[in-house]
């Protein structure tokens, strides 16, 4: 793992990003055990054809449940419920392509399913950088997401940079905001508690330019549905975007946040 983290650290520092391996004091990760989109999805292979090349090949292997290479060079079995569906991945790909996005951000790397879709979109857009936040990458996921991202970029020969920030999302997002970073698309799929997701969105919104999109995953969970309800009601600087995937919730920034400092509108929990 050390040589991969060192290589990633070099790329991160070259971009002026903060990089730190955070282990001490980090609570145990909560593994998400898939929702309806995973349990009842159609054949994922048909949805991958538009990607082509190494991106399609990597995802085909992952969706087939094949053991994946970790940071130690050894192949590890993967939990095939810890992922987005291929349909959801293609929705992210399409949002990124349609907006000519060059910088993307992701909270929650895990095995790297969503990451590969976003890397494929950036490659088609002509290049860019994808930043992933995950303090548990080497602890719970054997470095598979990180290794997959590095390998698929190399195989594709893409002008895409990848940076892993192995920190808690509220810390990493704050650091990125302080650096003045902006991201045309942010995918939030980390902790699924209401307060954590709302904090992730609030911090990500500060780095979302007009026209940029923020996407939440797992709308089947009451906590995520409640966050979406709050955002629909209170974040008037964003407008909902239909993705065709009921398990995704997407909002596009349409204006500056000019709400009064006491602004609050009551919202239904679902």
pLDDT per residue as tens digits for the range 77-91: 999 888 999 999 999
Q: Is the confidence at residue 98, as pLDDT, over 80?
A: yes
Q: What would the mean pLDDT of 111-117 be, rounded to a whole number?
A: 97
Please state which architecture CATH assigns to domain 2-23+34-253.
3-Layer(aba) Sandwich (3.40)
pTM for the whole thing?
A: 0.86
- The pLDDT assigned to 81 comes to 82
Indicate whether 38 pLDDT > 60.
no
| Nearest one of 13, 17, 14 to 171, comparing CA atoms | 17
Neighbours of 245 (CB within 10 A): 20
List the end-to-end C-alpha distance of the chain, in Å, as a whole number: 42
- pLDDT at residue 43 above 70? yes
Kindly report, residue by residue over 157-203, the tens digit of the pLDDT.
Answer: 999 999 999 999 999 999 999 999 999 999 999 999 999 999 999 99
Mean residue pLDDT of the chain comes to: 87
For the residues 21-33, what does the mean pLDDT come to? 34
Cβ contact 97:125 at 8 Å? yes
């Amino acid at each position: 793992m050390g040589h991969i983290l060192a290589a990633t650290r070099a790329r991160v520092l070259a971009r002026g990003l903060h990089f730190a391996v955070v282990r001490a004091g980090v609570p145990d990760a909560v593994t998400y055990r898939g929702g309806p989109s995973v349990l009842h999805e159609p054949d994922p292979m048909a949805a991958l054809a538009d990607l082509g090349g190494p991106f399609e090949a990597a995802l085909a292997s992952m969706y087939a449940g094949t053991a994946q290479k970790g940071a130690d060079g050894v192949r590890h079995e993967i939990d095939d419920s810890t992922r987005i569906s291929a349909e959801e991945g293609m929705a992210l790909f399409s949002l990124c392509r349609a907006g000519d996005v060059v910088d993307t951000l992701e909270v929650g790397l895990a095995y790297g399913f969503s990451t590969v879709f976003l890397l494929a979109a950036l490659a088609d857009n002509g290049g860019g950088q994808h930043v992933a936040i995950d303090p548990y990458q080497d602890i719970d996921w054997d470095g598979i997401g990180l290794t997959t991202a590095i390998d698929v970029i190399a195989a594709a020969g893409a002008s895409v940079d990848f940076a892993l920030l192995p920190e808690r999302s509220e810390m990493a997002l704050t650091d990125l905001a302080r650096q003045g970073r902006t991201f045309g698309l942010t995918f939030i799929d980390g902790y699924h508690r209401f307060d954590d997701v709302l904090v992730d969105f609030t911090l990500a919104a500060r780095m979302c330019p007009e026209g940029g999109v923020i996407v939440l995953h797992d709308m089947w969970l009451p906590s995520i549905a409640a966050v979406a309800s709050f955002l629909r009601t209170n974040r008037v600087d964003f407008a909902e975007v239909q993705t065709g995937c009921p398990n995704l919730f997407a909002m596009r920034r349409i204006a500056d946040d000019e709400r009064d400092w006491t602004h609050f509108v009551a919202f239904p929990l679902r």
